[in-house]
Amino acid sequence: MPAVCILDDFEVHKNEEFLKIAEELKPELITTQVKPVRLLYKENPGEGFSDKKNVKEEEPSLLSGKVLKKDDRVVLDFGDHQVGYVTLDLASTGSHQDAPLYLYLRFAERIEELDSDPAEYNGWISKSWLQQEHIHVDVLPARLELPRRYAFRYMEINVIDVSMKFSLVINDVTLKAVSAVSQDDVEPLAMDDPLLQRIDRVATRTLQNCMQDVFEDGPKRDRRLWLGDLRLQARANYQTFKNYDMAKRCLYLFAGMTFNEGKLAACLFLDPEPEPDDTYLFDYALLFGSALLDYYEETKDEKTLKDLYPVAMRQIEIGLDYLTEDNIVPDHSDEFWCFVDWGDGLNSQAASLAILIYSIRYGIRLAKYMGDTDRIDLLQKKEEELKKSAVEHFWDEEQQMFVSGEERQISWATQIWMILARVFPKEKNRELILRTIEVNPRIRMVTPYMYHHYIDALIRSDEKERALNEMKRYWGEMVHDGADTFWEVYNPYNKYESPYGSVMINSYCHAWSCTPTYFLRKFYEEKK
Ligand code: RAM
């Protein structure tokens, strides 16, 4: 569990004009009625669902013909990952209902989740994220409209109790699925490989289900706007849904709620009122400039560039203020301060400096669009200085790799960010990425967020073919493991990895994992 920094001097500065722009761009959600496609159950209700052998399957319409008694358990399969609101039409059969109906409902993104016991959850983030309800219904028949929004494919209905005199009948279950966009509006990927087509489809589904009022990180959890996630979602969105308003809205929301000396929050809450979280992540704040540049290059929206440029530049200034006399970023790896990846024991000091250099490069590009020559000079000088200090402090000549922290840790993340920062020229970067693959440092990447940067580093090092194979290996394996949408965490070396102490709380539709669609469509698909 990372040390959580609670800032006692947290002072929010709201820019009402920016917030108004963001509010006006709030999307109207598209709603779709979805019905279950399969009814699943086990002869022995106590048995789990992971072992698909003993799972009985029926037409969902047969549900209404079932007389459900105490301890009966059925699972409805909605055919694909869904986000939305569920309504059940319930009735009773037998004598007059002489006791409340007592139901347990559970929603799962993967069927395997149904075999875990939420009572055993002991992770360090709130168990309230587990999608389950205990519900009493006093009077039947009843139309039960569940007030919460769920993210799921499978819905388990468990009759905790009826009475000896009456049983439950479920006449109908419907889902009102919601999203700001529709996958039907995206052209299928024009590439022949069926695995790549499937990866692209799963990726766009992931993105669709995360596009709600804002780009949510995950519709099950945390259901909010994180800056690092936004940057990758927006990239995928530009290649698919092209919902520029949502990208613009999210950029204005961040810029409209800075804190203290002008820092951007790592994430924002939307309800009841937009509010920044009191968490600063060094890398996320710096990457705002990269997200702004992507948006501008895609839309050529001058007004947004002009409005938000000072906020992006302020993040670089704040980043530079953290530099020590030696021109490096201090090691904050024991705190939740610079995210990089969820890898256990990952030292992020060298990557922090690399991300600062990377952001300066993006800053220079922004400054060029703005014609801000003084800033260009200043940033170019800084970029050179910092590249030098990155090599001086973190390059290990003997091992031919970058190290990080006092223990001189070698990780995948450090090499990748140094490559993206272009600390070395292209050919040397290429050697470095190939060497990293060969050495396979023990501190690996565990999130699709970090894998995105790995693929990016390969492409930037002219290793396009390898990048494609790596995408197939990583995201393809998730597909083989049953992903309908891509996951928050996926470590092929440890499939039960969770940063939170239990896979039960992991999110299985997590937008930062949707970027194969960005890479495939931008760098590989033949343009029509
Ligand atoms: C988690 C969320 C989110 C991510 C942060 C750093 O809480 O999964 O996506 O940006 O970590």
**Residues 97, 197 share a domain:** no
Q: How far is CA 344 from the centre of its chain?
A: 18
Mean pLDDT of the chain: 96
Give the model's pLDDT for residue 1: 66
How far, in Å, CA of 38 to CA of 211, rounded? 26
Q: Is the pLDDT of residue 4 over 70?
A: no
Report pLDDT for 51.
75
Question: What separation in Å is there between the alpha carbon of 358 and the centre of ligand 1?
Answer: 21
Number of domains in the chain: 3
Q: Is 404 part of a structural domain of the chain?
A: no
Q: What is the DSSP letter of 520?
A: I
Question: What pLDDT score was predicted for residue 48?
Answer: 80
Confidence of residue 158 (pLDDT cuts 50, 70, 90): very high
| Count of beta carbons in the 10 Å neighbourhood of residue 384 | 12
How many angstroms does the Cα of residue 475 sit away from the middle of ligand 1? Answer: 19
Q: Do 195 and 152 reside in the same domain of the chain?
A: no
Atom of ligand 1 nearest to the CA of 339: 6
Output the CA 78–ligand 1 centroid distance in Å. 27
With bands split at pLDDT 50, 70 and 90, how would you rate the model's confidence at 526?
A: confident
Cβ(103)–Cβ(132) below 8 Å: no
Instruction: Give the pLDDT score at 114.
Output: 94
Same domain, 35 and 161: yes
User: What pLDDT is recorded for position 55?
Assistant: 85
CA–centroid distance, 351 to ligand 1, in Å, is: 18
Residue 256 maps to a domain:
yes
- Give percent of the chain with pLDDT exceeding 70: 98
Same domain, residue pair 121 and 226? no
Indicate whether 87 and 115 sit together in one domain: yes
**Which atom of ligand 1 sits closest to the CA of residue 510?**
9
Residue 228 CA: nearest ligand 1 atom is: 10
Q: Residue 351 falls within a domain, yes or no?
A: no
> Among 269, 227, 280, which Cα is nearest to 11's?
280
Ligand 1 centroid – CA 199 distance (Å):
22
Distance CA 395, CA 392 (A): 6
Expressed as residue numbers, the domain containing 246 is 1-29+212-282+293-321
Which backbone phi and psi does 123 adopt, to 5 degrees? -75, 180
Least confident of 37-41, 50-54, 448-452: 50-54
Residue 413 inside a domain? The answer is no
Residue 106 lies in a domain: yes
pLDDT higher than threshold 80 for residue 5: no
When pLDDT is averaged across residues 442-468 and rounded to a whole number, the result is 97
CATH number of the domain at 114, please: 2.60.120.260
Whole-number Cα distances in Å, 43 to 70, 108, 156, 169: 15, 20, 15, 19
Residue 115 counted as domain residue? yes
Last residue of a domain, one of 156, 179, 202: 179
Ligand 1 centroid from CA 487, angstroms: 12
| 202 and 273 co-located in one domain | no
- Measured by CA distance, the residue closest to atom 7 of ligand 1 is 222
Decide if 310 is inside a domain: yes
Task: Give me the pLDDT at residue 271, please.
Answer: 96
Average pLDDT in the 332-359 region?
96
Pocket of ligand 1, beta carbon within 6 A: 217, 222, 226, 228-229, 339, 488, 512
54 and 3 in a single domain? The answer is no
Q: How far is the CA of 516 from the centre of ligand 1 (A)?
A: 19
Q: Which atom of ligand 1 is nearest to the CA of 229?
A: 10
Is the residue at 126 inside a domain?
yes
With the most atoms of ligand 1 within 8 angstroms of its CB, the residue from 223, 267, 338, 510 to mutate is 267
Residues 200 and 300 in one domain: no
CA distances from 94 to 65, 67, 68, 139, 166 (A): 14, 10, 11, 14, 5
pLDDT of residue 79: 97
Same domain, 158 and 260: no
Same domain, 204 and 159: no
Mean pLDDT of 328-337: 96
Say if residue 274 is in the same domain as residue 147: no
Q: Are residues 12 and 100 in the same domain?
A: no
